[in-house]
Amino acid sequence: MLSLIFLKFVSDTFEARRKEIIAEFGEQYVDNDAFYTMKSVFYLPEDSRWSYILKYAKQEDIAVKIDTALHDIEKKNKALTGALPDNYFSRLDLEVSKLSALLDQINNIQTINSQHEDVVGRVYEYFLGKFALAEGKLAKTRMLPTGLA
């Protein structure tokens, strides 16, 4: 889940930087990764961008496309080596409709509204809190006598 939010975030920052490059230098530099890295933005191959993932969100192979996107981002950006999951979504074997719905929900997250606000960090904390709450409830039901959970 967090890797999808990460993908959305890096795609949003990539697209914002892409617009800056076009405005400052013209379109001839939009595929030059040095123009992204100079501003601490990860360069994303076209099939690793959020827009590409959304375009194919309802296809049967969307899990493979997500895994490939994450792999290619990691391969293109050495600072991410070992940081992203490997074939995670393919192994989950989620229904396409559920994965597509998840992508739609994540698409609504505004990741770069404010430069002073750590949106990705806040989302991470939110999900961590939900996970901890769910784990707490699960632990509580394990301790209750049968029939009281």
> What is the domain partition of the chain in residue ranges?
2-112, 114-149
CATH class of 2-112: mainly alpha
Please give the share of the chain, as a percent, with pLDDT higher than 70: 76
**pLDDT digits 0-9 by tens, 35-88:** 999 999 999 999 999 999 999 999 999 999 999 999 999 999 888 888 888 899
Q: CA 19: distance to chain centroid?
A: 20
Q: CA 89: distance to chain centroid?
A: 12
Q: List, in order, residues 6 or more apart from 82 with CB less than 8 Å away.
A: 74
In the numeric block, the tokens 């001839």 are attached to 28
Sign, Cα dihedral of 36, 63, 107, 4: negative
**pLDDT digits 0-9 by tens, 105-129:** 999 988 887 554 556 566 556 555 6
In the numeric block, the tokens 């959020």 are attached to 50
CB 5 within 8 A of CB 38: no
Q: Is 82 left (phi over 0), alpha (psi -120 to 50) or beta?
A: left
Compute the distance between CA of residue 96 and CA of residue 74 in angstroms, rounded to an integer: 24
